[in-house]
Structure formats: structure tokens, C-alpha cells
Amino acid sequence: MAVLDRIILSVVIVVLLVMGVLAAATTFGNNMLLDWLIRIQTVKLDGFLLVLIMLLLALYLVLMLVNELKTDKRAIVSQTPLGDVRINIQTISGLVYQAVRAIEGVKDAKVSIGDVQPLQLNLKLQLLPDYQIPQLAETVQASIRDYLQQIVGIEVAQVNVTVFGVLSSQEPKTS
């Protein structure tokens, strides 16, 4: 869980606790909450600030939830005599990303996964100039296949490569 998530969650918990305590106090005849509510009728800034904070917290929680639901839950399962080994999609794409980035001539990569069994990878690559693209694509495909075979122990059925850009040379031409 990300650090920010934890901070936000603890803030939410504190806010809810305080409100709970205040509500409880009100039930037992304490007027603190009521007084304060009356006060924000006159001092509008307090009220707006509170509303803003609560809206932001709610928004963040919703985003967290959406993110959680959107996360690809698929995994590659292999059976062993002692139980299943499940490797989830994020692990695979993270590994592939690092491996592709390490190949000479590749500037940047986006990895997405089509089918899981058999595994089908889609790579979008941004290349450095002065490389023969078909050859480089073939190198990428072969090294990913070998890499996954070695590290994850799975066969890759398909590695689709899309080249979406060639980075222009950074150095100014001196001709």
C-alpha cells in the first residue's frame, strides 16, 4: 500500500472518529457540535474548508477503490507437486519492461498483456535512431522469449512489437 494511501486513510479514520465522538457527545447532551455548527453559519470559511476537505477525502477514496477494481487480477498459474504457483500480470509486465529496456537500441517501452494462457505480449517501443528496426524487433522478441523462459519458466506464445517512435538524435548535427 502506498504511503500516501496510508496517510489519507489515517486522516479519514481520525475524521470519522472525531465525528463519532462529537455525535455521541451530542446524544448525551453536550452542545459542542451544535455550537460549532451554529458558528459555521456565521463564520462561513470554516464550513467551506470542512466541506472541501471532506469532498477531497471522499474523492481520493473513490479513486483508490476504482484503482483497486481496475487492477488486472489475472495470473499465470503453474502447478507443482506442493501446490500452485501464481504469478500475477503486474509481475510479468514489470519483468518484461525491465528486460526490454535493457536491450540496446530501445529507449522506452510500454508492455501490455493480451491473453494469459498462452501468454501473448504486446510491446510498444520507442527506439533510438540508427538501428535496423526489423532486426531490432526480432532481437527484442527473442530475448523476451528467452528471458521469460529463464526467469518465469513459461513459454510465450506471441510477442507483438509495435514501434511507435524513433527518438531523434539528441546531439546537434555537425556537417
Cell digits of residue 19: 465525528
Which C-beta is closer to other proteins: that of 84 or that of 171?
84
Q: Per rule CB under 8 A, is residue 83 in the interface with other proteins? A: yes
Q: Which residues of 51-83 are buried (b: 16+ CB within 10 A; e: fewer)?
A: eeeeeebeebeeebeeeeeeeeeeebeeeeeee
If binding is defined by CB under 8 A, does position 1 make contact with other proteins? yes
Contact status, residue 121 vs residue 155, Cβ threshold 8 Å: no
Q: Which residue of 100, 136, 152, 156 would you call a contact of other proteins, by CB under 8 A? A: 152
Q: Which member of 85, 133, 142, 157 binds other proteins (CB under 8 A)?
A: 85
CA angle 32, 38, 40 (to 5 degrees): 105
What is the β-pairing status of strands 156-166 and 119-127? parallel
| Least distance CB 148 / other proteins (angstroms) | 10
39 scored as a contact of other proteins (CB under 8 A): no
Burial class (CB within 10 angstroms; exposed 0-12, middle 13-18, buried 19+) of 35: exposed
Does 135 engage in binding with other proteins (CB under 8 A)? no
- Comparison of 40 and 87: residue with beta carbon closer to other proteins: 87
β-sheet bridge partners, residue 79: 84
Interface mask (CB under 8 A) for other proteins, residues 89-118, using x and -? -xx--xx--x--------------------
Least distance from C-beta 4 to other proteins, angstroms? 12
The C-alpha cell 489515517 sits at 10
Residues that bind other proteins (CB under 8 A): 1, 5-6, 9-10, 68, 75, 78, 80, 82-88, 90-91, 94-95, 98, 150-153
